[in-house]
Structure 1
Amino acid sequence: MRALQFTEYGPADVLHVAEVAEPHAGPGQIRIAVRASGVTPADAGLRSGRFGARLALPHVPGVDAAGVVDEVGEGVSGVEVGDEVFGMVDLARLGGANAEFAVLAAWAPRPSALSWEQAGGAAANVETATRALDLLDVRDGTTVLIAGAAGGVGTVAVQLAAARGAEVIGTAGPSTQDFVAGLGATPVVYGEGLADRVAALSASRAVDAVLHCAGPVPELVPIAGSPDRVVTIADLSGEHGVRLTHTAGGPGSDPQALHGLAIAAALAEQGSFTVPLAGVFPLAEAADAHRLSETGHAHGKVVLVR
């Protein structure tokens, strides 16, 4: 099969399409013929070597995809060959989705309201946003600030938090205020004076929780009132006392929030959830997709198609 891969760490130019052996579904897994798959900043971090992960090279990146089921592993029920699904690979492999066929370890039916491209880029951001919102105990009546609300995880987190009944405030640049408002958040411009602007928006009550997806962390702690009320998915430094959530294994790793996939699918069918796309690229142009993701200014998810 054709798959995206890299044989050495480096810039986006190390990515290339190659013929590789097809994977097969093991126990508890399914295989799909991929229609679209996602690109995340973490994929770029692994490719560059910045994360220090020791991958078995050559490596096929990508952790989420959507497609048509063509193999069902032992012990799997509720899904059949021919079903349309979206989901995630086994994260222990840290990749495998950017290919013609991919093995999924978690999945949900593809909502008819989501295109293949939207579904292909949904799962990783849904899982990440759900996990962070769960850690922050975001629920009906919570006031939550989402820093970086126009990005891939941020756009999803805004919608999922709003669906829980939370009051959502989202930071974004001047040009994306309407975009963030359309997702269900009260937009606020990031930068100097953020705490004052947020205080003016939430004058009736304090911010209960902060999800950090992008931007500086120090200015968020006073807004939350305590570092333990801030969860970050992006700041690896550990310098500010906030909690970093990840599922990469090892100390501090959190369990995956895979229940979020079914929740997002149901919301999409109700018209209450979508996946904004920052860019859609053919597999052969994956280097450009990685470059866009690495800018940190992609408004939505970056996706690859066959």
Structure 2
Amino acid sequence: MKAVLVDHYGPPEKYRVGEIETPHAGAGQIQVRIAASSLNAIDLRLATGAFGIALTFPHVPGCDFAGTVTEVGDGVTAYAIGDEVFGHGIPRALKGMLPFPKPSLTTGTLAEFAVFEADTPFIAPRPATLPAREAAALPTAGLTTNALLAQAKIQPDETVLVIGATGGVGTTLLPALRTKRTIATTRPGDEIVGADETVGYGEYPGEIDVVINLVLPTDQLKEAAKSLKPGGRLYTITFPAPKPEYIDRDDVTFEMVLDMESGVRDVTTLIPTIMKTYSLDDGPRAMVDFAREHTVGKLVVVP
């Protein structure tokens, strides 16, 4: 089969498209013909060696996907050949390191075919009303959006500041917020849906009820915390884990959001933003663009 291949640790400029043996479903697994896949930061960071995880080369990147079941392994009863599915899988190199009770592992979705564990909440049937491209753009962004909404418990009369609003999570989260005032950090010329106003990075107004950080390292949020009212809340999806000394305020809530319970069935009412679609042959170019350019929304690869 054709796939995007990483031959050694390094930048996305070194990725290539080539032929690799098609993976087949083992016990408890499904093989999926990939209809669309979207890019996430983990796709790049693993291949650079940033996590210190030993990859087997050639490595196929890609986690989020939509596609059609083409093989069903022994013991799988939830799916049949021909089923339309979507979701995400984590590279097998991370097996044993994940906090989820039923993680979804994959051979890599930037390919014509990929194999996934079947018994996981991170894969689900794709509704007929949800196109494959949009379904592929939703899993990681949608799960994170729902986790943020559930933990932050934002009220209609609150003012919310979203830092890093132009990424895949931000552009999915903003339309889902129902607040008095939503402020988003953007760059000049960015067009995003769901923000009442936009500001530059670091230009944070005061009197904010809730700050949601999607991009800055958690130990670089002191300025953002200054914008909060007393008793405000600051939520982050980045590392390192929050510590009070990072923000120098003891009158606000400071928490990390990490969802370990919900599944992709719950994301289908959300609306993703897709900036650009690439062919599989242009998959390496998509990875370079994702790494080097400022993007608004998701980048999707369609075999």
Instruction: Quickly name the TM-score band, shorter chain normalised.
Output: 0.7 to 0.9
Matched, 1:289 2:283: no
Greater mean deviation of Cα atoms: 114-123 or 234-243: 234-243
What SS does structure 2 have at the residue aligned with 1:86?
A: strand
Q: Is 1:23–1:102's contact at 8 Å kept on the other side of the alignment?
A: yes
Match for 1:189 among 181, 188, 199?
A: 199
Report the Cα offset of residue 8 of structure 1: 0.6
Aligned to 1:171: 185
Match for 1:158 among 174, 180, 188?
A: 174
Aligned to 2:215: 214
Aligned to 2:8: 8
| Aligned equivalents of 1:193, 1:86: Cα separation in 2 | 38
Aligned to 1:116: 132
Report the Cα offset of residue 285 of structure 1: 1.9
Aligned to 1:298: 295
Amino acid in structure 1 at the alignment position of 2:186: A
Segments of structure 2 that go 5 or more residues without pairing to the other structure are 95-105, 248-253
Q: How does 1:262-277 map to 2 (within 5 A)?
A: 262-265=265-268, 267=269, 273-277=270-274
What SS does structure 2 have at the residue aligned with 1:194?
A: coil
Greater mean deviation of Cα atoms: 27-36 or 128-137: 128-137
Q: Is 1:5–1:18's contact at 8 Å kept on the other side of the alignment?
A: yes
* TM-score, with structure 1 as normaliser: 0.76
Report the Cα offset of residue 42 of structure 1: 2.0
Report the Cα offset of residue 78 of structure 1: 4.3
Change beyond 3 A, Cα 1:61–1:226: farther
Aligned to 1:203: none
More helix per residue: 1
Report the Cα offset of residue 55 of structure 1: 1.8
| Aligned equivalents of 1:80, 1:143: Cα separation in 2 | 46
Q: How does 1:200-279 map to 2 (within 5 A)?
A: 206-207=208-209, 209-215=210-216, 217-224=221-228, 229-236=233-240, 240=246, 243-244=255-256, 254=258, 256-259=260-263, 261-265=264-268, 267=269, 273-279=270-276
Q: Is 2:4–2:284's contact at 8 Å kept on the other side of the alignment?
A: no
Report the Cα offset of residue 284 of structure 1: 2.1
What SS does structure 2 have at the residue aligned with 1:219?
A: helix
Report the Cα offset of residue 75 of structure 1: 4.4
Match for 1:136 among 152, 167, 171?
A: 152
Q: Is 1:23–1:101's contact at 8 Å kept on the other side of the alignment?
A: yes
Amino acid in structure 2 at the alignment position of 1:256: M
Give aligned-pair identity as a percent. 31
Amino acid in structure 2 at the alignment position of 1:293: F
Segments of structure 1 that go 5 or more residues without pairing to the other structure are 200-205, 246-253, 268-272
User: In the TM superposition, what whole-angstrom CA distance separates every residue of 1:191-225 from its partner, at most 9, and x where no partner exists?
Assistant: 344123xx3xxxxxx51x32212356332222345
What SS does structure 2 have at the residue aligned with 1:195?
A: coil
Change beyond 3 A, Cα 1:66–1:139: farther
Q: Is 1:3–1:18's contact at 8 Å kept on the other side of the alignment?
A: yes
Q: How does 1:94-105 map to 2 (within 5 A)?
A: 96-105=108-117
* TM-score, with structure 2 as normaliser: 0.77
Amino acid in structure 2 at the alignment position of 1:262: R
More strand per residue: 2
| Aligned equivalents of 2:231, 2:21: Cα separation in 1 | 47
Aligned to 1:54: 54
Q: Is 1:195–1:222's contact at 8 Å kept on the other side of the alignment?
A: no
